Amino acid sequence: MLENLPDFVGHALRDQRAGLDQIAFNRISAGAGTAALQMRSLAFVDHGPIPAQYTADGAGISPPLEWFGVPPGTASLLLIVEDADAPTPHPLVHAIVLDLPPSDGTLPEGALKSPDHEGQGYHTGRNSYLRTGWLPPDPPPGHGVHRYCFQLFALDVQPEFSGTPGRDAVLDLLRQHAIASGVLIGSYTRADGSIPVAADAAVPVTPVTDTEPPAGAQPG
């Protein structure tokens, strides 16, 4: 959707990012006194690049995930995926998955509904585009590296939502009932077309800053 956005727009917003301090994992203060979940993906390593097939530049299907270390007393698991580098006041939500079984497990490749893919019937909340399912990474060209945070929470309750909850409702639930949490971060960036790059040259990675962008910034 944003692949045809002019590079100068990405440059103008380059220093405007929600920041890692705004993702759910860091907002709900679940670190102290809670257990740690381990997450991994067969598609990418922690803090490594997400293959294009899971983004808006490819098939746009959701990536495979695995998790371990679910503690006793867990009634359900909840997954929320956020873009920490969206040029918006809060991270852009790419997926919310509810009612995952309370045990070590997996989310298969393509499990979530996404454009042109029906998914496998998982119970999902609303992403930032007010849709259910997987919103493929779609960063503005020229904006630099975006970090996509796959955050898993163990809950001591089986939540009951009327309809499809969004980020605010999920954060309220997590503050009250999260007993364990884990995060896996993958990155993705679109090449800056205004900077010529030789075919055999490495594309430089620009460090990102965790600054709070002004209200009214355009989504990333």
The answer to whether residue 1 scores a pLDDT higher than 80 is: no
Mean pLDDT of the chain: 83
- 79 CB contacts (<8 Å, ≥6 apart)? 65, 95, 96, 97, 100, 107, 150, 151, 152, 153
Q: CB of 114 within 8 A of CB of 95?
A: no
The pLDDT value given to residue 107: 98
The pLDDT value given to residue 35: 78
* Per-residue pLDDT tens digits for 126-183: 999 999 999 999 998 888 899 999 999 999 999 988 789 999 999 999 999 999 999 9
The total of other beta-carbon atoms located within 10 Å of residue 143's CB is 28
The pLDDT value given to residue 108: 97
* Over residues 82-88, mean pLDDT: 93
* Per-residue pLDDT tens digits for 195-212: 443 333 333 433 333 434
Q: Which residue bears the tokens 């220093």?
A: 15
The pLDDT value given to residue 131: 94
**What's the pTM?**
0.81
The pLDDT value given to residue 100: 97
Residues in the chain: 220
Ordered by where they begin, the domains of the chain are 18-188 (3.90.280.10)
The answer to whether residue 69 scores a pLDDT higher than 90 is: yes
Q: How far does Cα 22 stand from its chain's mean position?
A: 12
The pLDDT value given to residue 101: 96
The DSSP result for 27-66, as a single string, is HTT-STTSEE-EEE-SS--TTEEPPGGGSTTTT-PPPPEE
The three-point CA angle 128-175-138 to 5° equals 20
Taking the CA atoms of residue 139, residue 119, residue 65 and residue 23 in that order, the dihedral angle to the nearest 10 degrees is: 40
- 159 CB contacts (<8 Å, ≥6 apart)? 76, 78, 98, 99, 173, 177
**What is the rounded CA–CA span in Å between residue 174 and residue 27?**
10
The pLDDT value given to residue 119: 95
